[in-house]
Amino acid sequence: MERLWAPWRLQYITQEKPGGCIFCEKPHLGDDRAAHIVYRGDLAYVILNAFPYNNGHLMVAPFAHLSEFEGLPSATLQEMMKLAQRSTRALKLMFHPDGLNLGFNLGAAAGAGIKDHVHLHLVPRWVGDTNFMPVLADVRVIPQSLDQAYEQLREGFARLET
């Protein structure tokens, strides 16, 4: 039997699960690097997914705790889309994906891990990035740490502003 070592997963498995909303709590930590918030707007922000589908998996979330997509104020929705567009540019600049998946998972039945705070996923994709690991072992191989992805994306966002 082959073994895949992923010691960084032990912290997730053994840690006490938070009771609050991470999309509400992360922006107030006072340390965007530790929270993996790569960019802040006025009404929404961009954060790395702590349990990514692929390397560079981002999410755009409003600062306000809003659970219904159809209830998003127009200004918040507009800013989220602008941040998604900027995030797409940063991902293309720094990660050079072959494509991207963008989407909202609305409700637990639709796959939302956090269903009470609307957020948009941006998942970079590469030809051949789906391999046997998820199918046979229910394991995803992410080739870069969140801290490394954070640094790369912060640089990408900064380069877009100049």
The tokens describing 156, both together, are 């990408």
Please choose, from the candidates 127, 55, 71, 128, the residue with its C-alpha nearest in 3D space to the C-alpha of residue 104. 71
Give strand ranges (E) for 67-161: 99-104, 120-125
Q: Of the residues 36, 57, 119, 121, which is catalytic?
A: 119
* 62 CB-near residues (< 8 Å, 6+ apart): 23, 43, 44, 72, 76, 80, 117, 118
Active site residue 117: no
Could you give the residue numbers annotated as active site?
A: 119
